[in-house]
Structure 1
């Protein structure tokens, strides 16, 4: 149970950082930040695994700087995809 709570908190922080990087912070609420952070973490782990062979994400229990960086990259990519869908440009 505690693992899920920590995962949601970290996902929210990562989603919030990604929304600041992509300049969508004023348009997203806390729930969207959590969703972007959690899904972006999974996406970042998959991308990291494809590119370097050592992706890892916060969801897999690997809690280090590499996994946090890949999670943030995944959240930024996901936020760019959301921008493309909603606005027609990646910004």
Structure 2
């Protein structure tokens, strides 16, 4: 597992393309979670992706699924639910 200070820091790390699963927040200062996944996919990344957000809407869920996220998880996060979602995503990889 690796954490990044920002979405742009993740995109600047060439080793990020080796990740099996991405957990990204929708709203971040420099780049949103949808754009992060789009850029990773453009680079050939094929891993699983989970989007977390405090601002869920049907439109956002549709956009996230279209971008390649397998699930949208609402904040506040329940730790056990997040762990379970990551485990399922990794198992599906």
TM-score greater than 0.5 by the shorter chain: no
TM-score normalized by the length of structure 1:
0.29
TM-score normalized by the length of structure 2:
0.28
Q: Which has the higher helix share?
A: 1
Q: Which has the higher strand share?
A: 2
